[in-house]
Amino acid sequence: MSAATPAAAEPLAARPTRGEVVRRVLQGDLASVRVILGLALIWIIFQSQNSNFLTAVNLTNLMLQITAVGLISVGIVYVLLLGEIDLSVGAVSGLTAAIMAVLNVKHGWNPYLSIAAGVICGMAIGSVQGALFTGFGIPSFVVTLAGLLVWQGALLYVLGDTGTINLTNPKITGLANTFYSDTVGWIMAAIAIGAYTASTLWAWRGRVRAGLADRQLTGPVIRIVIVAAAVIATVAVLNSDRGVPLAVLILVGFVAGMEYIARRTRFGRHVYALGGSAEAARRAGINIHAIRITVFAIAGSMAAIGGIMQASRLLAVNQSSGGNDLLLLAIAGPVIAGTSLFGGRGNVWSALLGALVIGSISNGMDLLNLQSSVKFMVTGGVLLAAVVVDALARRQRQAAGRL
């Protein structure tokens, strides 16, 4: 086996040449690399303007600021992969957080039950919107635009006369305000790196055994080193301030879990297939209605989880919860980070990367005492630039004979 495999495997798996890698970065297949370079540029610019930007305290604050948007974006990525849009996630995040708050504060429900009720409401709302969209063939844009209005009204109704509900339950406020000790942080880092290494090597071994990959370990090892370095750097920075926040753990956990579902499971494959060609998916016997409803249910659930984290961080739910620019930032993030608006291309990590880009811009401009007028315009400009890059990548793919 071991002697015969490399020769047999040679023609099967062509390794990408350097030119191929450059092409993939330009054409958007490796958009993440492009985004990380952009993020590095943003950080360098802000650091040169204000030396407080890249301090542990500020980077920890940045991570806490992006948790809610990042979680909502995870659901948005799934919707974008279908080539659809969900405009209701901001309103849903506000409404479900309010439901949790009312149940916990006014009705004295157990905090975990209240949180679960909020998430289940988000899931139900998403399912209904998904069913309306796929059942009646109404554009998702319209269904969720109507949803945006309805759920915003529902938020005001649920909050009632008081308008604001302060959260005091330590379990709920702890979601965004818990920090782990240095030791626990390093143990978690070790577990994360160990799990990634094991799964990468396991997959590599399976391919070698089946005679599918060449036996060079360079690729997997490089990936493991990059991931390990990123994890260690993050934990080191967080530990030198207050420690690893539970919020970051929740965000990274959802991103990793949902990325696994998108990339490695049958359901995820069907989501990508639907985004590529709904007709092809239907003819292949895929239940496209079920997939669409599930995806919108995921978007609603993630909106609820994001809304609850936001409420936990701000210690309150009020009439403007889930309002303002939350929706737009949650959609802009993944798009900036390379998830296509046209469906079928992208990944869940773009939710995290995009939130980091937007969060960094917002945080950096706060440090520079810029007004929100400037913040909005700059964020809008970055979004526009990212979409133009996406469109150019698409055109390049077409020019190269790829659709």
Partner 1 sequence: MNANGSLLALKGVSKRFGPVQALQDVDFEVRPGEVVALVGDNGAGKSTLVKTISGIYSADTGTMSFEGHPVSISSPAEAARLGIATVYQDLALCDNLDVVANLFLGREVVSGGLAELTRQLNEVDMEHQSHELLEQLAVTIPNVRSEVGNLSGGQRQQVAVARSLLGEPKVVLLDEPTAALGVAQTAQVLALIKRLRERGLGVVVISHNLADVFEVADRIFVLFLGRPGGTFEASDTTREDVVAAITGARRNGEAAHSDVAEEGG
**Does 279 interact with partner 1 (rule: CB under 8 A)?**
yes
* CA–CA dist 39, 46 (Å, integer): 11
**Does 253 interact with partner 1 (rule: CB under 8 A)?**
no
Name the token pair of 20: 């191929």
Residue of the chain from 39, 121, 273, 329 that contacts partner 1 (CB under 8 A): 273
H or E element: which one contains 318? Answer: strand 316-318
**Does 375 interact with partner 1 (rule: CB under 8 A)?**
no
Site string for partner 1, 198-237 (x = CB under 8 A): --------xx-xxxx-------------------------
* CA–CA dist 79, 147 (Å, integer): 15
**Does 8 interact with partner 1 (rule: CB under 8 A)?**
no
In degrees rounded to 5, what are phi and psi of residue 78?
A: -60, -40
Nearer to partner 1, 46 or 272 (CB): 272
Nearer to partner 1, 37 or 280 (CB): 280
The piece of 283-291, 321-329, 367-375, 385-393 that touches partner 1 (CB under 8 A) is 283-291
Residue of the chain from 39, 148, 167, 281 that contacts partner 1 (CB under 8 A): 281
* CA–CA dist 39, 357 (Å, integer): 6
CB contact at 8 A, 50 and 340: no
**Does 37 interact with partner 1 (rule: CB under 8 A)?**
no
* CA–CA dist 355, 351 (Å, integer): 6
In degrees rounded to 5, what are phi and psi of residue 325?
A: -95, 10
CB contact at 8 A, 338 and 34: yes
User: In whole angstroms, how close is the CB of 401 to partner 1 at the nearest point?
Assistant: 7
Nearer to partner 1, 155 or 390 (CB): 390
Residue of the chain from 187, 264, 377, 388 that contacts partner 1 (CB under 8 A): 264
Residue of the chain from 256, 261, 314, 367 that contacts partner 1 (CB under 8 A): 261
* CA–CA dist 245, 66 (Å, integer): 12
CB contact at 8 A, 215 and 1: no
Q: Is 117 left (phi over 0), alpha (psi -120 to 50) or beta?
A: alpha
Helices (H), ranges, 315-348: 326-336
**By rule CB under 8 A, what count of residues binds partner 1?**
35
**Does 344 interact with partner 1 (rule: CB under 8 A)?**
yes
Residue of the chain from 55, 127, 178, 277 that contacts partner 1 (CB under 8 A): 277
Which residues form the interface with partner 1 (CB under 8 A)? Answer: 12-14, 206-207, 209-212, 260-261, 264-267, 269, 272-273, 275-277, 279-281, 283-286, 344-345, 397, 400-403
